[in-house]
Each structure stands twice: as structure tokens, then as C-alpha cells.
Structure 1
Amino acid sequence: MDNATDSGGAGYRRSAGSPRGEARRRELLAKITDDVAENGLVDFSLRRAARAAGTTHKVLLYHFEGTEDLLRQVVAALRERRVGNALAAVAGSSSTLADRVRAAWESLRDEETQLRRVLDQAMGLAMYDPGRYAALGRGASQQYLPTLVRFCPADWPERRKLEVASMILAALRGFLVSLLIDDDFATAGVEALLRAVEREEAAP
């Protein structure tokens, strides 16, 4: 990634959160997110982002803190797409936790290959260079866990919801990686996870 414009230099103003400024920031972010969804994170930079948004890197520095801030927001926007797709799939499932997890998994399994690849790249950056990109890894759990917690039975204590949601998230992450290697392995693992979830839901 290009570090030449990693952070906003002195003299650049910041979008102060006015309605007009916020609308412009969202517009720029949407265009850049679409570019990353199509072309991935390789060679991501402010200048590439500016070309995708039809503006200049100086304009981006008015609305974002720099390359890493922009990257974090782009990845968050892509994860929101993933969460939205999963929620849409779950909306048509039955009320059991296992059925919700199955529907979410099917959404993840069938999502666009490029979306999965980009989000895998983001996690790879977090592992390869945690000093710079740890927020990309932490952000994943912060975005995904609340949705999985909501899948849990409403009468469960909050701690139990969090524990089970964390187990499900960790397992699904592993199965997504397994899809790149062996579909049958991932499918078998998901079935075992669903049985574990059914047992957990049946427990007092």
C-alpha cells in the first residue's frame, strides 16, 4: 500500500460532521467501497481511492484522516453488506438458533467470491501487520457479534448469548477459510456446529 499519503498533513481542514459534509463523506465512501469490492485491497492508496471517487486525494483528506482511516471505513462498509445479506437470509428462516445459523452460513457460503476475498484480505492485513491494521481485525468482531447475539434466544442471560455467539463466530470464520480448500470439510464442520448449537439451545 502507498504510504506517501497515509495521514492528513497540517493545513487540511476536516469535515466537521455537518449534514452537507456527512452526505459528501458517505457519497465518497460508497464510490470507494464499490471500487474495493471490485478490485480488492492490493495497491490501495489515497490516490487510487481518489480516482475511484472522481476527486483528489486532498479532498479525501478533508473527509478522512488518511489511508488507514479510509481503509477501515471501507472494510466496515463491506462487512455491513455481509451482515445485511445474512440478516435477509435469516429473516426467512424459522425461530430456532440453529436454523438462523444455518441460514447465515448459507448466505456466507453463497456470497460473491470477490466480497469474501476482500474481507479475507483485510483479516490478512490485520494478522500480517497488527501494528498498523489491528483495527481491521477488531472491527470484524465488533460488527458481527451483535448480530449473532441477537440470533440467540431472548430469554438467555447476556453472558450466555455472548459466549455462544463468540463460539459461532469463531467456527464460521474457520469454515469460510476451509471453503477455499475443501468444500466437503467445511460442510461437515458446519453440520457439527449446528448439532452443537441445537444441544446448547436445548440445555436448561
Structure 2
Amino acid sequence: MVRNTARREELAELATDYALDQGLIGLSLRPLASAIGTSDRMLLYHFDSKDDLVATMLRVANDRSVRTVRSLPRSRSVRTAVLDLWRVSTSEQSDHCHRLYVEAAALGLLGCEPYVSVVREANERWVDALADHLVAAGCARARAGRAVALLDAAFMGLQLDLPLGRNESQGKRVVSDLADAIATIARG
């Protein structure tokens, strides 16, 4: 069956915007379709299944986050790169993308597809973008994997804590300490 690729991409973008606002948990096709100006039957025409649509939405959201990181100007140091990445990661758009990722990752932990595969794919692309940014700021490529493992885990934990009311000045200090640690790893 030949499908209208442009319409599929348009629906994917609209559905992603909806999911970024509403979340994945409890996602139902009828309210989604109504909100984006189509029907659930048309969504299933353009996407093989609800799982295919969800996987596509996760890819679109991740692409947005990766594009944001890749569009950052080169940071003047590894320490500054961490602070720049934190600023971008906590922007409203990126924050919504990260929350969607966390929901999908939680479902993936339960072994549910397409979440396992899509989250793995998204994480690889995200980590590559972080590593490239750190390397451009002066981190040795050989140390980038270690630096990014710490950076990504710390960012994820901090982002999960933010909605729980972490003290803002304490959070800034933690990010500053993280920047110092990553800079130390980068230097060897």
C-alpha cells in the first residue's frame, strides 16, 4: 500500500506535540486523533498500529532533542559544555521530550515493544550528540564515553528530581559539581 508520506510526517509531528503535552501513559487514539484534526481510522491508515504511531512519536521527540544539542554553538570548555547542555536539557521543549522518553523507558523496563527498541535507539543518538558536543569542547574522544555515561545518568536523575521540588540553589550547585567532575574526567 502506498501512503502519503508527507501526510504521515505531518500527523507524526502533530501527534508528537500532543504526546509532549499529554504524555504517553493512558494515550488513546480517539482523543489524540480528535485533538489533531483527524480520525483514529486515518491514524491507523498512515501508521501500521498504535505501537507504530507511538514509536514514531518517540523518534520525532528524540530527533528534536538531538537537533537542539547539535545546534548548540561550540562551548569554550568541557565544564561550560556541561552547563550549556544542562541549560538546553531543562528548556521547556527539551523537558517535555525528556519526560516522554522517561515514560517510554519505564514501559520499556517492563519489556514492552516498541518501547524497548525505540528507547535504546533514542538513547544511542542522544548519547552520541552529547559526546560530540563534549569532544568539540575539548574532551578527548577516548574519555567521552565515560564522561557522557556520568553526564547522562546525572541529568536523568536531576530531571526526575526537578518536579519533586528540589531546592533551585542546591540543584545549581549539583550541576556545577557535575561540570567539575566531567571536566576532570575529560582531562584524565
The TM-score bracket by the shorter chain reads 0.7 to 0.9
8 Å CA contact 1:36, 1:118 repeated in 2: yes
State the identity %.
25
1:135 to 117, 120, 123: 117
The aligned residue for residue 106 of structure 1 is 87
1:75 to 54, 58, 70: 58
Deviations 1:88-143 (CA, angstroms, capped at 9, x unpaired): 4x32x63322211211101222325655543432333223x323332343133123
Identify if the C-alpha distance between structure 1 residues 120 and 186 changes in structure 2 by more than 3 Å, giving closer, same or farther.
Answer: farther
Deviations 1:4-28 (CA, angstroms, capped at 9, x unpaired): xxxxxxxxx463xxxxx22111111
- How many corresponding residue pairs? 183
8 Å CA contact 1:144, 1:169 repeated in 2: no
- How far residue 151 of structure 1 moved from its aligned partner, in angstroms, is 1.4
Residue type at the aligned position of 2:112: G
1:80-91 superposed matches below 5 A = 80-88=63-71, 90-91=72-73
The aligned residue for residue 195 of structure 1 is 180
Which one scores higher on RCO, CA 8 angstroms, separation ≥ 6? 2
Whole-Å separation in 1 of the counterparts to 2:61 and 2:29:
18
- How far residue 202 of structure 1 moved from its aligned partner, in angstroms, is 2.2
Contiguous gaps of at least 5 residues in structure 1: 1-12, 16-20
Could you tell me the TM-score, scaled by structure 2's length? 0.79
- Greater gyration radius: 1
The aligned residue for residue 146 of structure 2 is 163
Tell me whether 1:147 sits opposite 2:132 in the alignment.
no
Could you tell me the TM-score, scaled by structure 1's length? 0.74
Tell me whether 1:38 sits opposite 2:21 in the alignment.
yes
Identify if the C-alpha distance between structure 1 residues 84 and 103 changes in structure 2 by more than 3 Å, giving closer, same or farther.
Answer: same
What secondary structure is seen at the aligned counterpart in 2 of 1:126? Answer: helix
